[in-house]
Amino acid sequence: MSGDSRDYSFDVSEYLFRLTTESLRLLSNETQSFQSLTSLVEKLAGPSAAEALAQHDVETLRQHLSKIPTEGPIRINMQIAKTSADNLIEAKRRLGEELGSDLTVADAISMLLFDYVVEKSASKLLTQMGIETSNGAGKRAVDTGKVVPLK
């Protein structure tokens, strides 16, 4: 391992593994390029990772960790940039304080994946409703001038 990156190995649950693969599918479709767990984590573990997770209700995050346990029999290995690792550790620390419990880096990754999937699901729903989702959420993407009465 070089000084500019960190190696991680996690034994994760089947549920967390499925969350990981779903997140990879979403990112690959978004970028139209096959992505790796490393590229996904580095995308999500930016300097504002802790702030992104802080937007969720503490009880929602607790429920996520309860319904999608982190530890399990499936081994995941990855190598990420030192800056991403530092951001993950900071997110883990801050979330641990918020939740009042000791968290692992894998717990922080799980919550970042949860946030990513929730964001993508909300974005898809808003797009289907005709509401712009990037740089101006809440504004109409297209105004046709037609009014359709609801019955």
Look at residue 123 and tell me if it is in a domain.
no
Domain that residue 96 falls in:
5-117
Decide if 133 is inside a domain. no
Supply the DSSP symbol for 55.
T
Q: What is the pTM of this model?
A: 0.78
**Ranges of the chain with pLDDT below 50:** 1, 135-149, 151
Task: With respect to residue 38, please indicate whether it lies within any of the assigned structural domains.
Answer: yes
Q: How many domains does the chain have?
A: 1
pLDDT at 129: 73
pLDDT of residue 133: 53
* 131 in a structural domain: no
Let me know if residue 143 belongs to a domain.
Answer: no
Instruction: Classify residue 74: in a domain, yes or no.
Output: yes
Asked if residue 100 belongs to a domain, the reply is yes
In a domain, 137, yes or no: no
Write down the pLDDT at residue 56. 75
Q: Cα dist. 73→7, 10, 15, 49, 77 in Å?
A: 19, 9, 11, 27, 13
